[in-house]
Structure 1
Amino acid sequence: MKTNKYLISIVGPTAIGKTALSIKLAQHFDTEILSADSRQFFKEMQIGTAAPTPQELAQAKHHFIHHKSVTDTYNVGAFETDAIQRLTTLFNTHNTVIMVGGSGLYVDAVTKGLDDFPEVDANIRLDLNTRLQHEGLESLQKQLQVLDSVSYQNIAIDNPHRVIRALEICIGTGKPYASFLNKKKDLRPFKTLSVGLIADRNIIYERINQRVDIMVETGLLDEVKQLADKKHLNALNTVGYKELFNYLDGTWSLDFAVSEIKKNSRRFAKRQLTWFKKDPNIMWFDYLTPLETIVQTLNSKVTKPL
Structure 2
Amino acid sequence: MPKHLISIVGPTAIGKTALSIKLANYFNTEIVSADSRQFFKEMSIGTAAPSTEELASAKHHFIHHKSIQDTYNVGTFEKEALLCLGTLFKKHDVVIMVGGSGLYVDAVTKGLDYFPEVAGSIRESLNNQLEIEGLPVLQNRLKELDPVSYDSIAIDNPHRVIRALEICIGTNKPYSSFLNKKNINRNFTTTTIGLTAERDTIYNRINQRVDIMVNQGLLDEVKSLLPFKDLNALNTVGYKEIFNFIEGEWTLDFAISEIKKNSRRFAKRQLTWFKKGENTLWFDYETPFEDIIKNINTH
TM bracket, shorter-chain basis? over 0.9
Residue 212 (structure 2) pairs with residue 214 (structure 1): yes
Structure 1 equivalent of residue 22 of structure 2: 24
Moved more, 236-245 or 127-136: 127-136
Measured after TM superposition, the shift of residue 74 of structure 1 is 0.9
The answer for unaligned runs of 5 or more in structure 1 is 302-306
> Residues 1-306 of structure 1: matches in 2 within 5 Å?
4-122=2-120, 124-145=122-143, 147-148=145-146, 151-152=149-150, 155-173=153-171, 175-301=173-299
- Matched residues, number: 299
Q: Give CA deviations for 1:11-65 in whole Å, capped at 9, x if unaligned.
A: 1111111101100100000100000001000000000000001111011110000
Contact 2:153 2:269 in 1 (8 A): no
Give the Cα separation in 2 of the matches to 1:49 and 1:25.
Answer: 22
Give the Cα separation in 2 of the matches to 1:259 and 1:150.
Answer: 27
1:101 and 1:134, CA in 2 relative to 1: closer, same or farther beyond 3 A? same
Measured after TM superposition, the shift of residue 75 of structure 1 is 1.0
Give the Cα separation in 2 of the matches to 1:179 and 1:207.
Answer: 33
1:46 and 1:150, CA in 2 relative to 1: closer, same or farther beyond 3 A? closer
1:161 and 1:263, CA in 2 relative to 1: closer, same or farther beyond 3 A? same
Q: Give CA deviations for 1:72-102 in whole Å, capped at 9, x if unaligned.
A: 1111111111111111111111110000001
Give the Cα separation in 2 of the matches to 1:126 and 1:64.
Answer: 32
Measured after TM superposition, the shift of residue 173 of structure 1 is 4.5
1:277 and 1:209, CA in 2 relative to 1: closer, same or farther beyond 3 A? same
Letter in 1 for 2:6: I
TM-score scaled to structure 1, two decimals?
Answer: 0.92
Q: Give CA deviations for 1:168-209 in whole Å, capped at 9, x if unaligned.
A: 223444554344333233211111101111112222111111
The answer for unaligned runs of 5 or more in structure 2 is none
1:184 and 1:297, CA in 2 relative to 1: closer, same or farther beyond 3 A? same
1:179 and 1:217, CA in 2 relative to 1: closer, same or farther beyond 3 A? closer
Letter in 2 for 1:136: G
Q: Give CA deviations for 1:111-149 in whole Å, capped at 9, x if unaligned.
A: 111101234455543442332232122322343355556
Q: Give CA deviations for 1:271-304 in whole Å, capped at 9, x if unaligned.
A: 1111111212111111121211111100001xxx
Give the Cα separation in 2 of the matches to 1:211 and 1:187.
Answer: 38
The runs of 4+ residues in structure 1 deviating greater than 6 Å are none
1:206 and 1:94, CA in 2 relative to 1: closer, same or farther beyond 3 A? same
Give the Cα separation in 2 of the matches to 1:149 and 1:258.
Answer: 28
Give the Cα separation in 1 of the matches to 2:200 and 2:148.
Answer: 31
Provide the secondary structure at the position in 1 that maps to 2:274.
helix
Measured after TM superposition, the shift of residue 153 of structure 1 is 5.8
1:15 and 1:144, CA in 2 relative to 1: closer, same or farther beyond 3 A? closer
Provide the secondary structure at the position in 2 that maps to 1:39.
helix
Provide the secondary structure at the position in 2 that maps to 1:267.
helix
Give the Cα separation in 2 of the matches to 1:218 and 1:156.
Answer: 26
Measured after TM superposition, the shift of residue 66 of structure 1 is 0.5
Give the Cα separation in 2 of the matches to 1:153 and 1:246.
Answer: 25
Provide the secondary structure at the position in 1 that maps to 2:38.
coil
Give the Cα separation in 2 of the matches to 1:101 and 1:265.
Answer: 15
Q: Identity across aligned pairs (percent)?
A: 71
Letter in 1 for 2:91: T
Give the Cα separation in 2 of the matches to 1:88 and 1:166.
Answer: 32
Give the Cα separation in 2 of the matches to 1:52 and 1:210.
Answer: 17
Structure 2 equivalent of residue 304 of structure 1: none
Provide the secondary structure at the position in 2 that maps to 1:40.
helix
Letter in 1 for 2:183: K
